[in-house]
Amino acid sequence: MPIISRGFHGRKPDPGRKLPPGQYETFDFPVLSAGPTPRVSRDDWKFTVTTESGARHQWDWGRLMALPAERPTVDLHCVTKWSKFGTHWEGVSLDVLLEDVETEAEFALVHSYGGYTTNLPLEDLLDGKAWIAHRYDGEELAAEHGGPARLLVPHLYLWKSAKWVSGIQLMLEDEAGFWESAGYHEYGDPWREQRYQGD
């Protein structure tokens, strides 16, 4: 299993910016991954939502681009203790993608190209809290940051914002993802410092 540092040393935050406990502010965009960077072309990219009944809803790149985009500006908080304020993204809200999906599920298991998974309550993907992001800082999303598209769930630690997202499996019961199975917290709220199981 790859070794991930528990944190870097950084600068103190600018006045007026509030950091979650244990975090420091960074001005670059560190790259941390659980494995090699998948290289997925936009021609080959697909995103699939699978319900608990097995019903599948799928979007290719063209269909995703045809949906209304939002441009959220959000703060990012990584479990390795860095935070980056005011990041600019463009993407499609999960509210749009899940609008016509019939489900009784309460949980989601997010899948990525390369085999990564992460779990979270379905409610954390709704009500304007999550996007399939495909642009960062006005540019196409680079592969090292999860391009061509990644999940963006900024109110949770960044490992929940799965890079290279390929789909979401809707589930009646929770199932641990990659880092959660390795001892990371099942929820990951940075304001409650939920880094590891038992926090």
115 φ/ψ sector (left φ>0, alpha ψ -120 to 50, else beta): left
Kindly list the distances between the CA atom of residue 122 and the CA atoms of 61, 108, 125, 198, in Å, as whole numbers in the listed order.
23, 5, 5, 22
Cβ-Cβ contacts under 8 Å for 35 (sequence gap 6 or more)? 2, 114, 115, 116
Tens of pLDDT along the chain (199 residues)? 343 334 444 455 555 679 999 999 999 998 877 678 899 999 999 999 999 999 999 999 999 999 999 999 999 999 999 999 999 999 999 999 999 999 999 999 999 999 999 999 999 999 999 999 999 999 999 999 999 999 999 999 999 999 999 999 999 999 999 999 999 999 999 999 999 999 8
The count of structural domains within the chain is 1
21 in any annotated domain: no
Domain assignment present for residue 29? The answer is no
What is the span of the domain harbouring residue 182?
A: 40-192
| 54 in any annotated domain | yes
Q: Is residue 199 part of a domain?
A: no
Residue 103 maps to a domain: yes
pTM, rounded to two decimals: 0.90
CATH number for the domain spanning 132: value is 3.90.420.10
Does the residue 13 lie in any domain?
no
As a residue count, the chain comes to 199
For 106, other C-beta atoms within 10 Å of its C-beta total 14
The verdict on residue 73 lying in a domain is yes
DSSP state letters, 65-88 = HTSPPB--EEEEE-TTSEEEEEEE
User: Which H, E and C letters describe 90-149, residue by residue?
Assistant: EEEEHHHHCCCCCCCCCEEEEEECCCCEEEEEHHHHCCCCCEEEEEECCEECCHHHCCCC
Task: Report whether 145 contacts 38 (CB < 8 A).
Answer: no
Tokens of 31: 């790259």
Nearest Cα neighbor of 61 from 120, 6, 140 is 140
Q: How far apart are CA 25 and CA 36, in angstroms?
A: 26
Q: Does residue 121 form part of some domain?
A: yes
